[in-house]
Structure 1
Amino acid sequence: MSESVHTVPAMPAARRAGCPFDPPPELSDAQRHGPISRFTHSHGRPGWLVTGYDLTRAVLADPRFSTRKDLLNVGDFRVPPAPPGEFLLMDEPDHGRYRKPLIRRFTVRRMRLLTARVEQITAERLDAMEKAGPPVDLVSAFAKPIPTIMICELLGVPYEDRDAFQEQIDTFMGGEAGMEELIAAYTATQTYLGELVRAKRAHPTDDILSELTDTDLTDEELQGMALLLLAAGFDTTANMLSLGTFALLENPAQIAALHTDPARAVEELLRYLSVAKTFMRTALEDVSLDGHLIEAGTTVVLSYHTANHDPARFDSPGTLTLDREHHGHLAFGHGIHQCLGQQLARVELTVALTALLSRFPTLRLAVPATEVVLRPETADIFGVKSLPITWDA
């Protein structure tokens, strides 16, 4: 085994000032030294950091690496197993048992049939923005409501509960709440979903959660699945919409390509931004990666963002090129845990971004780009906290 390897002292805390779309400089530097580096987890436990595209993809497809939450080896403490139903943090066969009944409910065809509803919601948000007049915060006026309404309708969350639900998810995924606040938001969400599952069993409606009550899944399992789907379906797309708009406004020459081929443009935005920036895997046995021994029980951090900016895979990866010929980005992951809702996300991004920039062709930032406040790197999903925009009324 080779012993020559770059070392990153710790995971970086922030991106370079003025470069909100680039990976943190420590990660880009690590990638220049090779696709894998040593580093130390925040609680002092040694680990490995993978920044190369090919190696990240290989780990994601390798059953010798586990996604189980309770196997994470990042400090001198024990992490409890994932709650029933939260299959993103489970291996086979548990993962497949929960994911399988959802696959036919998230098919490409079914998600594309929702296009008209996405168009309707988008138009309603744009009408409200136009009526209010500039300036507005794109995050609260546009980026959050669209995916929130869509995923809540799919799962059957009553309309009047959506604002409270969105706020709770913001709290435990935003990366800034204290432990007491996190626990309170998580507990309130779990309590609400438990009541919702029981209501769907008693009085099914036309939604995915009601359909799942006709399976062998328990109330507790359905509650966990609903939390995962709601959080993932809302937070990732909301941040892609706001950060994607920011990127387009900072690269106005690219906007014409968005209108020419929206589907291709969205794939490039997904690659370029990679808002779900890192994931972790734990070696179940000794594994060789790029000539380095990863010992059993060691937790590896996979940097999706840096992998999607790997010059060995993409020409000029730090440049937003909306008409780029794509060859498989990792924004939705890879392997058995690849994002279940990726087709819905694509529909929402394609419809919403093209409609926004068609309705407001003079759209621009209402503050200097350096004053746009970013979410902290501790947030599960990267993005902006707010995006003040204006246009010629």
Structure 2
Amino acid sequence: MAAEQPSALPIARTCPYAPREEHVRLREEEPVSRVTLPTGTQAWAVTRHEDVRTLLADPRFSSDRSRPGFPMVEERSKQSASVLPRMLVSMDPPEHGPARRAVLGEFTVKRMNALRPRIQEIVDEHVDAMLAGPRPVDLVRALSLPVPSLVICELLGVPYDDHEFFQSRSASIVSHTASHEEQKTALVDLAAYLDGLLRAKEAEPGDDLLSRQIGRQREEKGSVDRHDLTGLAFLLLSAGHETTANMISLAVLQLARNPEAREALRRDPGGTPHAVEELLRYFTIAEQAVGRVAAEDVELGGQLIRAGEGVLVLSHAANRDPRAFPDPDAFDAGRGARNHLAFGYGAHQCLGQNLARMELQIVVDTLLRRLPGLEPAMPVDGLPFKDDAIVYGIHEFPVTW
């Protein structure tokens, strides 16, 4: 039976390398439990790996953020739903399947491998600039942020000269400290920008993802749904740089903290794919990005979740579940477990996961080859971690070599 007075759910991380203690307690004692979110609303928190996978594979749990009861970690999240078009992450069947299949072909392993030489070129150009400049250098500004930004800009056909515009707006949208008005302004600005970009591509298509989507819609429907494409563009543009950028910085930090693992990867880059999977599991940076609302009564983990009740996935705790991962709090660069939940699970699993994996692998291999002595230029316990953001990471990361 659910508790009469659910405990408040803490959000801020107290340790950069571990799940919150309360989330771990819930996983071990109350794996499916009622909690009070920072918004004051109540929801179910799911913390065990098996329960999370069961939840995310069950169509009786809706992804529709407009449904009453959908768990919002922040009040400002409601603004996103009201300003932006519906996106893939908020669609249910039967709408979701066709919409996802329409763009899924853009992110196949084959298409991503075709991008590999260009991504390597982008990484090398930024490492060249680091080597040519003064030390220390902020890794976030010099490499972590510009590499995935440039990659996603080229993929979507967004002029890279505009990247500062969308980076600043995206930062406001995912920040816990930005005011409601700042976030709303950022959302409106981005939506207007993307609408204009799509209009330009309708008039003059290029060789890019958005132009191909426009062409596909014209061929299949005889018209272009710019509203729908604005939502797709926003999702890919924002998710395509913020998450990977943060993972690059955290990956460099974690390998600096584990010199034996770093040296092993430098000697044998064949181990990098396994290390990347472990880094993704270990940090789980988009921890509270996945929510659902029950469309009907469902039993999960021995608890009855009634129709209209929200469910929040605490994927960092689930990715440290000892039932799924031996010695889960240890960083094991050779673990290579791909059953982690960093990209979600089920029908809504991250579209861009193949791209993210490849970018991380290329960056790690390149830095180990070209800057084997790369180290933090300050004590790591003093680094400004993003405790104020929906996506975890580091605001600034001074490094030297």
For the superposition of Structure 1 and Structure 2, which TM-score range results when normalised by the shorter chain? Answer: over 0.9
Question: How far apart are residue 256 of structure 1 and its match?
Answer: 2.8
1:14 aligns with 2:12: yes
1:330 aligns with 2:344: no
Which residue matches 2:263?
256
TM-score w.r.t. length of structure 2? 0.91
Question: How far apart are residue 85 of structure 1 and its match?
Answer: 4.9
Using the alignment, how far apart are the partners of 2:58 and 2:303 within structure 1? 16
- Give the conservation status (yes or no) of the 8 Å contact 2:273–2:336: no
Q: Unaligned stretches of 5+ in structure 2?
A: none
Using the alignment, how far apart are the partners of 2:82 and 2:68 within structure 1? 10
Question: How far apart are residue 122 of structure 1 and its match?
Answer: 0.3
Q: What percent identity do the matched residue pairs reach? A: 41
Moved more, 192-201 or 239-248: 239-248
Q: Which amino acid aligns with 1:157?
A: V
CA RMSD, 1 decimal: 2.1
1:288 aligns with 2:295: no
The aligned runs of 1:179-258 (5 Å cut-off) are 179-214=180-215, 215=217, 216=221, 217-258=224-265
Q: Which amino acid aligns with 2:294?
A: A
Distance of aligned partners of 1:349 and 1:273 in 2 relative to their CA distance in 1, 3 Å threshold: same
Deviations 1:73-96 (A, max 9, x none): 258x99556843511111112222
Q: What SS does structure 2 have at the residue aligned with 1:389? A: strand
- Give the conservation status (yes or no) of the 8 Å contact 2:277–2:336: no
TM-score w.r.t. length of structure 1? 0.93
The aligned runs of 1:1-393 (5 Å cut-off) are 3=1, 9-16=7-14, 19-73=15-69, 74=71, 79=78, 83-214=84-215, 215=217, 216=221, 217-259=224-266, 260=268, 261-278=271-288, 279-326=290-337, 328-376=339-387, 379-391=389-401
Deviations 1:291-324 (A, max 9, x none): 1111111101101111110011101111110011
Question: How far apart are residue 327 of structure 1 and its match?
Answer: 5.1
Distance of aligned partners of 1:253 and 1:98 in 2 relative to their CA distance in 1, 3 Å threshold: same
Distance of aligned partners of 1:327 and 1:102 in 2 relative to their CA distance in 1, 3 Å threshold: closer
Using the alignment, how far apart are the partners of 1:277 and 1:86 within structure 2? 19
- Give the conservation status (yes or no) of the 8 Å contact 1:6–1:37: no
Deviations 1:220-243 (A, max 9, x none): 111111001101111110111111
Using the alignment, how far apart are the partners of 2:125 and 2:275 within structure 1? 24
Deviations 1:116-156 (A, max 9, x none): 11100000110111111320111111100011000010110
Q: What SS does structure 2 have at the residue aligned with 1:104? A: helix
Question: How far apart are residue 213 of structure 1 and its match?
Answer: 0.7
Question: How far apart are residue 37 of structure 1 and its match?
Answer: 2.1
Question: How far apart are residue 4 of structure 1 and its match?
Answer: 7.8
Deviations 1:246-303 (A, max 9, x none): 1111222211343421111111111111111121110111111111111111101101
Q: Unaligned stretches of 5+ in structure 1?
A: none
Question: How far apart are residue 72 of structure 1 and its match?
Answer: 4.9
Using the alignment, how far apart are the partners of 2:84 and 2:228 within structure 1? 8
Q: Which amino acid aligns with 2:328?
A: P
Question: How far apart are residue 157 of structure 1 and its match?
Answer: 0.5
Using the alignment, how far apart are the partners of 2:261 and 2:196 within structure 1? 47
- Give the conservation status (yes or no) of the 8 Å contact 1:85–1:223: no
